[in-house]
Amino acid sequence: MALEQIKMPQLGESVTEGTIEKWLVKPGDHVNKYDALAEVNTDKVTAEVPSSFTGVIKELVANEGDTLAVGEVVCTIETEGGSSVEVVEAAPEQPTAETVKPAAEVQKNAVPVNREKGAKARYSPAVLKLSQEHGIDLTLVNGTGNEGRITRKDLLKIIESGEIPVAAPVESKVEQSQATPQAQVTAAPKAAPVNVPVAVGDIEIPITGVRKAIAANMLRSKHEAPHAWTMIEVDVTSMVQYRDTIKNDFKQKEGFNVTYFAFFVKAVSQALKEFPMMNSMWAGDKIVQKKDINISIAVATEDALYVPVIKNADEKTIKGIAREVNELAAKVRSGKLKSDEMQGGTFTVNNTGSFGSVQSMGIINYPQAAILQVESIVKRPVIMDGGMIAARDMVNLCLSLDHRVLDGLVAGRFLARVKEILENITKENTSVY
């Protein structure tokens, strides 16, 4: 018999952790390879974790509601044949009075953990987040994971005990104002929870794993990316007329609608080829200009927002884009969207106009460098050449950009090119096929 481990998979580009929403198995269950073990939520997708082996579930290391970093073990499975495999991050054995000191004693005698010479401490994002939230000095924590690695469960036990290990004060002539930033961070008090008064008739809505993940990703984007915003007005009268003349025949022939949104995605894809800097990402010490043009589109359900991706959108016709938009939206709303259909996006186009919005500022889909909001097409009086006033179909395109990657010059030229493409879509010079 061999003990194998199932780890938290990478469920999307830039995804670093996932939340166990629901276990689909229990210890003792027999599973086949590729059977679904659990439902996992991230900021980008809700997906099932498949089994990599055929065997019997030995232990569920994570509980429902737990958030684990990519690569951390979620459960163990016993298979036949082969040698035993050591389980990384598996739950430790039940502590005994001889092996575990009371939390108060740990706090009282807290000293830095003596790790092997040359060993480098490695902490998962979940561990770092917990330690920062609760002011835990990780150098004083003994980990129970592989090679003494500190796990999320180690910190949860400390937090539940109420005795947080912090470094003992060191006698020094250095003034408090000269203390190192790290020392100040360690000693910082835990932020107080938000106290919202609840009155009779108020409804408290539990935060789901998906909503937590969305909130975390939006917060990260706003904190890390310096957002800039610009808007351009586009006359799409000719485009509207062209689409309206072909929509009925198109639907009868193809079986799905050709929407205005497909024209916008095509125009953006074409402009991205001409302004490749707009198709870039911030990568810490460098900027990565992506070769493929993969357009992320936002699809909302009643309680969440999903961002599937149209791969190589610049190589597709308007018909091909319309088909993919229709198929991806249907998969989101039926819960059949796959994790790989959420990955690889390089630029986001959001159809805010479908809700009647005429002006909005989107939050960038991290780590992308920009997001374009396509607003509602409305008829407005416009002064034409010669001074005549006419009713025209107008739309606002609102661009949010990461100012670390993009400047106003390239963003302005990009929007101007999108405007030019859209205003020249006519029956005579444009084909949807």
Q: Which residues are catalytic?
A: 403, 407
Q: Is 408 exposed, middle or buried (0-12, 13-18, 19+ CB in 10 A)?
A: exposed
Cα(340)–Cα(10) distance, rounded to whole angstroms?
Answer: 10
Separation CA 255–CA 366 (nearest Å): 35
Spatial CA neighbour of 301 closest among 260, 332, 269, 259? 332
Are the beta carbons of 296 and 316 closer than 8 angstroms? Answer: no
Looking at the DSSP bridge assignments, the partners of residue 378 are: 394
* 271 closest CA partner among 392, 68, 411: 411
Question: Exposure string (b/e) for 100-118, b if CB count within 10 Å is 16 or more?
Answer: eeebeebbeebeebeeeee
Sign for the CA dihedral angle at 209, 214, 219, 221 comes to positive
Distance from chain centroid for Cα 382? 41
Cα distance from N-terminal residue to C-terminal residue, the chain: 58
Token reading at 2: 């061999």
